[in-house]
Structure 1
Amino acid sequence: MDKFIKDYDKIIKKQHTLETNDPLDRLISVVKEAKEKIQSDPSSVNASLVNLTKSVKTTSSGISEEFKELQSLLSKYSKAVDKTFTGDMMSTLSPHAFDNKEHILRNTIATHFIRQGNFEIGDKFAQARVSSEANITVPDEIRHQFMEMFEIVAALKENNLEPALMWAMRHRSGLEKRTSTLEFKLHRQRFLQLLEAREVRLAIAYAQKNFGHFGNRHTQEIMRLMCSIIYMDHIHTSPYADLVTPNANSDLQHMFTRDFCSLIGLSCESPLYVSCTVGTQAIPTILKVSALMKAKKTEWSQQSELPVEISLTDDVKFHSIFTCPVSKEQASETNPPMMMLCGHVICQESLHKLCRGSTKLKCPYCPTESPASNAKVVHF
């Protein structure tokens, strides 16, 4: 993948070069120079036109070569991708996965557009009629909530904290139930803004007015903020430089988006985005398994689950998963994990099999024997 990334970077670099030094601007510049020369010296019309023709040919030739280089890079990159990724993607598809679920899929896509701030596209997609299927509607409440969220995020990008502060103060109780630090972080950032603007008196007054509510939870942070006033003139090279990191604003935007979605009962990331991310990570493994099964002329034993474990990145893992060390099966609601008195955990079905009609069982991992009735269900 590193080679693909390097080749892609070359294409982007070349494209950026063409954008900054626009070929059309160069041609226009050549024509303008000839026009100005003719206007200033009408007698030089013939000579100027000859020179203009030569300049246009030379410039056009150079532009053509530059575009040939870009086309060559694109062609090589495309061929390398086609050569490397030769798997049949169709083998990973289930043609009946969305049978009788088209309405749910369309609603998910429309909601995704709304969640990304593309309100007009989301509305158009929701209103589009597919065959005999009825139009779908995204609830106005969700639409208005995300409109508010994007307005506040836009203000945060401009270093305007007021809308976010007002929202956080209105929802203080909900944020505190979730142990969120958003409101304090916003007040802290506002204090630092005043400090960097050399408004020391205003910064102290702001701290006195707003930090009191957070005294119990953020005592040490408040003490550091107040001590940072001493280093106001060179805070970036002081022991308090971590308070004014360049990523502070983007971190606030992410924190606000996460807490906003949490309060309205939605995940921070769009379900469609998560699904596509997980699918992308799973495709290489599924392609290998599909090819292996095709060679052995076998099929998956169960349609509702994958035949192999898929390794996922931490950002798309939302629930703890327990696999029984005895049966090698994943725990479920009907087959929950059970902890014996010795502390070892196995699934309920394995527990019953090990009992074999007896009231006691021996742990498969240590010499301890304990009554099966003493095993307790474990919740992850």
Structure 2
Amino acid sequence: MEAFVKDYDKVIKKQRMLETNDPLDRLINIVNEAKDKIRADPSSVSASLTALGKTIKTVSSGISEEHKELQSALSKYSKAIDKRFTGDMIAAINPHAFDNKENILRNTIAMHFIRQGNFEIGDTFAKEAGLKLPESMRHKFMEMFEIVEALKVNSLEPALEWSTRHRRELEKRSSILEFKLHRQRYLQLLEASRKEDAIAYAKQNFGYFGTRHTQEIMRLMGCLLFFDRIKSSPYADLIAPNANADIQHMFTRDFCSLIGLSCESPLYISVTVGTQAMPTIIKMSSIMKAKKTEWSQQSELPVEINLTDDTKFHSIFACPVSKEQATDENPPMMMVCGHVICKESLVKLSRSVPNGRLKCPYCPTESMSSQAKNVYF
């Protein structure tokens, strides 16, 4: 990796040299100097233009050389990447994955732009792709980003107004957003040495949360003794440097939850999961290619992909035997060994054995179908 890093550093160095001495700025300055000279002495037009042409030619030649050096460094860096990472990603790609699903993909991309706050790009993409995005969803995300922008400059009022308006829905989801916002506003007043205003604010807003956040409110009241030096007091942990960022994330998560969406866009999650899974899939593909074998099940990976906790979802259960989604009539059932399959698969397996003791499809354990228990996700 050392040679790889050196090539990378060379590219960055060349790029910074061009940024600090922008060639276009140099050409603009040369042309402006020629214009000023001609304006001051109109009789020197011919001589000035001749000199300008020679100068531009010289500067352009120097610019060309600088870009050649950058391209050379970039080429070496690209070769170092190819040499270091030799995996064939084509082997891990299914070219037919989105056959007859182009509209779903386009809609996902358009909604990703909207969810990132790039409304103009999202609208343009939707128009050119012939999509009709729900206007109500667009307005909701516009409201969300307006509040997030206010939070970025420590303006809590819009978020407080929204959380108060949706108090019941947030409480059903056990959200503590509204209390955290009031807590942050109270601490802002203390940091600004507005002790009396902080006391009045606490009396007005903390009472509703008294039974659920008693201990934390008691600590917040203790801050009053150190209102002019909280950062050096026993309550310094309350003034966390990342408190504002945490509230932004909490608000975004709860806002998306109320409109029935995940905090991150599906496109972002898909790309993240694909990036995490790609090395394993490439390795598996190369092994199968060498052994001249194929995957046993269509659309099912032959290996388990280790994903991070924030990319694991269990909204549905698909039976590993029948490959069908579980329903109320065909619920997931956990056998004695801990493995889970759907009820219909369990019944079919038990019918195929004479004594009723079926073997788990994934381990040697035997059990009776009557010993299996319903599982609720």
The normalised TM-score by structure 1 is 0.77
Query: Where do 5+ consecutive residues of structure 2 fail to align?
Result: 33-58
Pairing 1:248–2:243 present: yes
Q: Deviations over 1:181-210 (max 9, x none)?
A: 111111111011111101000011001101
How far apart are the structure 1 equivalents of 2:5 and 2:184?
36
Q: Which among 173, 192, 204 is matched to residue 209 of structure 1?
A: 204
Hey, what's the Cα distance between the residues in 2 that align with 1:284 and 1:234?
51
**Within 1, Cα distance between the matches of 2:360 and 2:111?**
50
Name the aligned partner's letter for residue 94 of structure 1. N
Distance (Å, rounded) in 2 between the aligned partners of 1:355 and 1:147: 58
Residue type at the aligned position of 1:107: N
Q: Which amino acid aligns with 2:375?
A: V
Q: CA RMSD in A?
A: 4.3
1:277 equivalenced with 2:280 (yes/no): no
* 2:151 matched residue in structure 1: 156
Q: Distance in 1 between matches of 2:10 and 2:235?
A: 40
Is residue 2:115 matched to residue 1:115? yes
Deviations 1:304-352 (A, max 9, x none): 211111111222112299999xx99999636834254xxx423455795
Q: Could you list the per-position Cα deviations for residues 337-373 of structure 1 after superposition, in whole angstroms to 9, with x for gaps in the alignment?
A: 4254xxx423455795599444678999xxx998642
Matches within 5 A, 1:310-321: 310-319=305-314
Partners in 2 of 1:166 and 1:375 — Cα distance?
Answer: 50
Residue matched to 1:345: 338
Q: Which residue matches 1:106?
A: 106
8 Å Cα contact 2:189/2:198 also seen in 1? yes
Counterpart of 1:179 (choices 174, 180, 190) is 174
> Which deviations, in whole Å up to 9, do the C-alpha atoms of 1:144-173 show, x marking residues without a partner?
000000111011111111111111110000
Q: Deviations over 1:115-154 (max 9, x none)?
A: 011111111111114xxxxx21110011000000011101
Which residue of structure 1 aligns with residue 370 of structure 2?
A: 373
Q: Give the whole-Å Cα distance in 2 for the aligned partners of 1:85 and 1:70.
A: 22
Distance in 2, Cα, partners of 1:303 & 1:363: 22
The 3-state SS of whatever aligns with 1:128 is helix
8 A Cα contact 1:339 1:378, kept in partner: no
Retained in 1: the 8 A contact 2:113–2:121?
A: yes
The aligned residue for residue 145 of structure 1 is: 140
Q: Deviations over 1:227-265 (max 9, x none)?
A: 012112221122111111110111111111000000000
In 2: Cα distance, 1:295 partner to 1:258 partner: 45
| CA distance in 1: counterparts of 2:84 and 2:351, whole angstroms | 49
Partner in structure 1 of residue 51 of structure 2: none
Match of 1:191 among 186, 190, 210: 186
CA distance in 1, matches of 2:220, 2:122: 44
- Percent identical: 68
TM-score, normalised to structure 2, is: 0.77
Greater RCO structure (CA 8 Å; 6+ sep): 2
Corresponding letter in the other structure for 1:139 = P
* 193-202 or 345-354, larger mean C-alpha shift: 345-354
Stretch moving more, 70-79 or 289-298: 70-79
Q: Secondary structure at the match of 2:306?
A: coil
Query: Match of 1:46?
Result: none
Partner residue, 2:219: 224
* Aligned partner of residue 198 in structure 1, secondary structure: coil
